A and B are shown apart, each in its own frame.
Chain A
Amino acid sequence: MQLFFRRCLLLIFGFWSLGLCAEPQPISVIYPEANAPFKDIYDEILSGIQAHLSFTPPMLRVGTTIQENVGAWLTQQNSKVVITLGSKSFEAVQKTASPSFSMVVGAVLFPPTGLDAAHSGSVITISYAPAPQLLFQRLKRLFPTVQNIHVVYNPELNDWLIKEALKTAEEMGLKLNAEAASDLKAGANAYKNILDAMPSSKSALWILQDNRTFNEAAMLPDILSKSWDKKLIAFSSSLAHASKGVVFALYPDNRKLGERLGKISKEVLEQKYTGTRLMSLSDTKAALNTRTADHLGLKVTREVMEEFDLTFPPQG
C-alpha cells in the first residue's frame, strides 16, 4: 500500500516537473557540442550560470554544423535573453533566429562581427581575453621595476583590448608600447625587433592571444629562447604559454565566468544592466612558471606561490 502511494506521488511530481519544464523561461542557453577537455569548460560555465539564476534555463547544444532547428527552438522558448557560449553558438543564433531577444555572448576571444543593425544594440560580450588591468597588476607585483610593456597586436582583432590596456597602463604608471601588425610575418618581425632591442630589467613582453600576428607553434619557442637568453620578462594571456616558459599567465575562471554571464543576463532581463557592451575577462586564475621566475631572479616564496592557482613545473 505504501509502495502504491509512493508511486502515485512520484507520478504526480513527474507531471508537475514536466509542466515546469514546458513553461517558457525568460533566459535560455545555447552552447556548442564539445569533447573533453573542452566539454568540462562548458560544463563549468553552465554550472556557474545555473548557480546564479533561480531557475534552470532551457539549454540547447548545437553540433559542429549549424542546426536548422535552432530558430524553431528559440521561437518555442520565447526567451527574452539568450546566452550563447562560443562563436559557433553565436553564429547559429545569428543565422537562424529572429532578433527579438537580447544576447549575452561568452567564451569568445574577440567581439562578434556580422550582426545586423537590429541586433547590435542588444548584444553584450565578455571576451575570453584576461583584463589588462589584472595582468599589469600581477606584473607590477612580481617585477616592480618594470616600466615598459611591449605588445604586438592586430588592430582588427584586438584594437578594443589595446585601448583598454593603454588606459590601464597609463593609470598604473606604465608605458605600453603596442606594435600594430597586419599579418603573421609583420607580427613575427615586430616580436623579433622588440626582443632584439628590449632592455632586460625595466621592460616586459606581453604575448597576446592574437592569431593574425602570433603563431604559437612557430614563434613561441624562438621568443622564449631569446627571452631566456637575455633574461627578458615575458607574460601571456594564455595558460599554455605558462607551461612552455613565460613567467606567468592569466586564464579564465569558468565557473565565475558562468556566474557573471547569469548575472548580466538577469540584469538585461530586468533592464538594469548599465555596463559596457564589450568587456575583457575579469574572472581569472593565474599560473606561474617557477623555473622561469627563478631564472629571472624572482624569489619564489610560499607567499608568492599562494597567489597562483597553478605552477609549472607542477609542485609536489
Chain B
Amino acid sequence: MLETLKKHLTQTSFKTQLLLLFVMGLSILAIVVTLATTVSTHYLMENMFITRNKILVEAFAKQSTLALLYGSEENSRDAVRIVSAFQSVEYAAIHEVNHKRLFEYGKSVPGIDLPPPYPIQKELDAHWVFIEPVVVMNPIDKEPSNGGGQSNQKPQFLGYVKVLVSKSELQTIQSTIVLSNGLIIFILSAILYFIFRKLVNQMVEPLQTLTRTMKKREEGQTGVRASLQGAKELHTIGEAFNQMINVLEEREEALIKEMHSREKAEENVRQHQRELAHFSRLKTMGEMASGIAHELNQPLAAIVNYTGGCLERLQTEQTVPEFVAVVQKINDQAERAGAIIHRLKDFLRKGNAVTESVDVRLAIENVLKLIECELNQYEIKWSVQANECPKALMDKTHFEQVTLNIIQNAIEAMKENTEGKARLLTITVGLSGKEMVEVSIKDTGPGIPPEILEKLFEPFFTTKEEGMGMGLSIVSSILESHGGRIQVSSMVGEGAMFKLFMPGEGIRDK
C-alpha cells in the first residue's frame, strides 16, 4: 500500500502532490473539527436542554401552587397548559403531598414513579424525567426585622409536579447541528480547496515554465533561458539552470570548433593517405618497370614478327586468308599490350577512395597478371584457392594495392631462397565469421623473426636496404580505414602468412 503510494507520488506532478497533501490535510482537519464540534455541541445542547426543561418544570411547579392549595382541577389544567405547550413534553402530572395525583396530561411511561427527596432529574432511554417539589415560603414572623433582610421563611411542602420530556427534540436539534456543521465545513473546505488550488497554480506555474524551458533545451533548442519568477528557491534553480546553459553552450561552441578542426585534420590525413598510397603505387610501378617492360616486350616482339611476316607474304603475293590470320594475331598482341597498359593506368589512378563491391577473386587475379612476369622470373608457382566467391566492400584500387604489396613482399622473400626449396605462393579466399572476407597469402620464404613481427606494421620500419618502411604501414592503415585489419604469422624457415580481413557484402544474409 505504502509502496503503491510512493510509486504513485513519484509518478505524479508536484502540483498534484501538493493538492493531494492539502486535500488530505483538509479532510483530516474537517473530520476532526466536525467530530470536536459535534461532541461539544452535543454536550452543550444536552445541558441547554436540561436547563431549559428544569426552568420549565420549576415554572410549572410554581404555577401548580394554587392548584395544590385549592385542590382544583381547573387550576391544575391552567398550570399544565403552560407546560404542555412544549412539544417535547409528553407527560405532566401534579401530585399532592400524599402522592395522590391531582391532575395528569399525556401518557406516562414505566419507571418514573420515583420516591423523594425531590427535586429529581433522571435520564431514561428516550426521555428525561423531572420531579420538582411545590413549596410555599411562609414568613415565620411578618415584622420589620425579618433577620435584617435575610430569609426568615419556612418552606411548606404542598406536593410535587412530574414532567416527562422526550429526547427526540434534542436529538433532532443535535442531528441538525451535526448536519449543518458538516455542510458548513464541507463548503468551507471546498472554498479553501479552490483558493489553495489557485495559489498552488501560482506557485507551480514558474516551476512548470522552468520545466518547459528545460524540455526545449532537451529537444535541442538553443538560446533558451529560464525566466526568473516565483519562489526564492525557483529563482535559485532558474539562475543555476541559466548558468549551466551558458557553460554548456560555450562548451558546445568549443566542441563544434574542435569537431570542425578535427574533420579538417582528418581530411588532411585522408588526403595525405591517398597521396601516400598513390606514391606507394608509383613506387611499386617503378620497381615493376623492368618486369612490365619485359611483359610489354613479348606482345610488341610478336607484333614485329607478325608484321615482318606480313611484309614477306605481301612481297611473295600470297592469298588474303593467310593475311587475316596474321593480322588477327597482331591485333591480339596489341590488345594484350593495351590491357597491360590499362591495368597499370587503373592501378596508378589518383582520386578519392570509393567504397564499392569488389570481386575479391577477380581482383586478386588482376594483381597476379600485373606481377606475373616477376613470378615467372623467380620461378614462383602460385595458386588461388577460393571455395566461395565473396565480395568485399572497399575501394578496388586500394584492395589491389594491399594485395600487390603483400604478394611483392612474398616474392622478395622467396627470391632469396636459393636452397632449392620450392617457391610457392598460396592465396586462399574465404569468409571470417558472418561479416568479414578473409584473404590469406602464404609464402615459402625464410619467415619473419618474432622480434621483427612486432614492429612489422610500424611506419618507417624496414629490413630492406633500399626500402622506405612505409609499405605494410600503408597496407594496415588502408584496411583499417575500410573497417578491416591485417594479421601476420610466421615460423622462421617455414615462411610467412598474412591474413587480410575486409567487410564483406551480403555475407550476413547468407
- A residues whose Cβ falls under 8 Å from a Cβ of B: 32-36, 38-39, 41-42, 64, 85-89, 107-110, 128, 184-185, 188-189, 192, 209, 211-212, 215, 217-219, 222, 238
Contact residues in B for A218 (Cβ distance below 8 Å): 65-66, 69, 136
A89 CA to B148 CA, complexed, in Å = 12
Contact residues in A for B10 (Cβ distance below 8 Å): none
A128 CA to B144 CA, complexed, in Å = 9
A147 CA to B145 CA, complexed, in Å = 36
Contact residues in B for A189 (Cβ distance below 8 Å): 69-71
Contact residues in B for A128 (Cβ distance below 8 Å): 142-144
Tell whether, in the assembled complex, residue B144 and residue A188 are in contact, meaning their CB atoms are under 8 Å apart: no
Contact residues in A for B142 (Cβ distance below 8 Å): 109, 128, 209, 211, 238
In the complex, which of the residues A36, A41, A219 contacts B69, with contact meaning CB atoms closer than 8 Å?
A: A219
Q: CB-CB contacts of B35-48 with A at 8 A, as 1s and 0s?
A: 00000000000000
Cβ < 8 Å to A, chain B residues 218-255:
none
Contact residues in A for B24 (Cβ distance below 8 Å): none
A209 CA to B142 CA, complexed, in Å = 8
A-B contact pairs, 12 of them (CB 8 A): A32-B148, A34-B148, A38-B145, A42-B145, A86-B144, A109-B141, A184-B158, A188-B69, A189-B69, A189-B70, A215-B137, A217-B65
A123 CA to B349 CA, complexed, in Å = 170
Known interface pairs A128-B143, A184-B69, A218-B65. Does A33 touch B138 (Cβ–Cβ under 8 Å)?
no
* B117 CB–A CB distance under 8 Å: no
Q: How far is the CB of A32 from chain B (nearest CB, A)?
A: 4
Tell whether, in the assembled complex, residue A211 and residue B66 are in contact, meaning their CB atoms are under 8 Å apart: no
Tell whether, in the assembled complex, residue B148 and residue A211 are in contact, meaning their CB atoms are under 8 Å apart: no
A188 CA to B134 CA, complexed, in Å = 15
In the complex, which of the residues A38, A185, A212 contacts B148, with contact meaning CB atoms closer than 8 Å?
A: A38
Known interface pairs A218-B65, A218-B66, A219-B66. Does A184 touch B144 (Cβ–Cβ under 8 Å)?
no
Contact residues in B for A219 (Cβ distance below 8 Å): 66, 69
* B140 CB–A CB distance under 8 Å: yes
A87 CA to B65 CA, complexed, in Å = 29
Contact residues in B for A89 (Cβ distance below 8 Å): 145
Contact residues in A for B69 (Cβ distance below 8 Å): 184-185, 188-189, 215, 218-219
Q: A32-B145, A36-B149 are in contact. List 15 more A-B contacts (CB 8 A).
A: A33-B148, A35-B149, A38-B145, A86-B144, A87-B143, A88-B145, A107-B143, A107-B144, A108-B143, A184-B138, A185-B68, A215-B137, A218-B65, A218-B69, A222-B66
* B318 CB–A CB distance under 8 Å: no
In the complex, which of the residues A34, A188, A211 contacts B149, with contact meaning CB atoms closer than 8 Å?
A: A34
A82 CA to B429 CA, complexed, in Å = 163
A-B contact count (CB 8 A): 88
A212 CA to B156 CA, complexed, in Å = 10
Known interface pairs A110-B141, A184-B136, A211-B142. Does A88 touch B147 (Cβ–Cβ under 8 Å)?
yes
Q: CB-CB contacts of B110-147 with A at 8 A, as 1s and 0s?
A: 00000000000000000000000000111111111111
Tell whether, in the assembled complex, residue A185 and residue B71 are in contact, meaning their CB atoms are under 8 Å apart: yes
Tell whether, in the assembled complex, residue A217 and residue B136 are in contact, meaning their CB atoms are under 8 Å apart: yes
Which residue of A is nearest B63, CB measured?
A218
Which residue of A is nearest B96, CB measured?
A185
Contact residues in A for B70 (Cβ distance below 8 Å): 188-189, 192
Tell whether, in the assembled complex, residue A185 and residue B158 are in contact, meaning their CB atoms are under 8 Å apart: yes
* B319 CB–A CB distance under 8 Å: no
* B418 CB–A CB distance under 8 Å: no
A278 CA to B151 CA, complexed, in Å = 27
Known interface pairs A189-B71, A219-B69. Does A41 touch B149 (Cβ–Cβ under 8 Å)?
no
Cβ < 8 Å to A, chain B residues 453-505:
none
Tell whether, in the assembled complex, residue B145 and residue A86 are in contact, meaning their CB atoms are under 8 Å apart: yes
A107 CA to B148 CA, complexed, in Å = 13
A216 CA to B137 CA, complexed, in Å = 9
Tell whether, in the assembled complex, residue B147 and residue A64 are in contact, meaning their CB atoms are under 8 Å apart: yes
A87 CA to B148 CA, complexed, in Å = 12
A188 CA to B65 CA, complexed, in Å = 11
* B377 CB–A CB distance under 8 Å: no
Contact residues in B for A42 (Cβ distance below 8 Å): 144-145
Q: CB-CB contacts of B149-161 with A at 8 A, as 1s and 0s?
A: 1100000101000
Known interface pairs A109-B141, A109-B142, A222-B66. Does A215 touch B136 (Cβ–Cβ under 8 Å)?
yes
Contact residues in B for A185 (Cβ distance below 8 Å): 68-69, 71, 158
Tell whether, in the assembled complex, residue B146 and residue A38 are in contact, meaning their CB atoms are under 8 Å apart: yes
Contact residues in A for B136 (Cβ distance below 8 Å): 184, 215, 217-218
Tell whether, in the assembled complex, residue A212 and residue B138 are in contact, meaning their CB atoms are under 8 Å apart: yes
Contact residues in A for B66 (Cβ distance below 8 Å): 188, 218-219, 222
Contact residues in B for A209 (Cβ distance below 8 Å): 142
Contact residues in B for A64 (Cβ distance below 8 Å): 147-148, 150
Q: How far is the CB of B476 from chain A (nearest CB, A)?
A: 133
Q: How far is the CB of A156 from chain B (nearest CB, A)?
A: 14
Closest 3 pairs between A and B when the two form their complex, measured CB to CB: A188-B69, A86-B145, A34-B148
Which residue of A is nearest B145, CB measured?
A86
Residue among B72, B141, B143 with most chain A CB within 10 A: B143
Contact residues in A for B68 (Cβ distance below 8 Å): 185
A33 CA to B150 CA, complexed, in Å = 11
Contact residues in B for A34 (Cβ distance below 8 Å): 144-146, 148-149
Q: How far is the CB of A160 from chain B (nearest CB, A)?
A: 16
A67 CA to B141 CA, complexed, in Å = 20
Q: How far is the CB of B151 from chain A (nearest CB, A)?
A: 11
Which residue of A is nearest B148, CB measured?
A34
A86 CA to B152 CA, complexed, in Å = 13
Cβ < 8 Å to A, chain B residues 49-104:
65-66, 68-72
A263 CA to B295 CA, complexed, in Å = 190
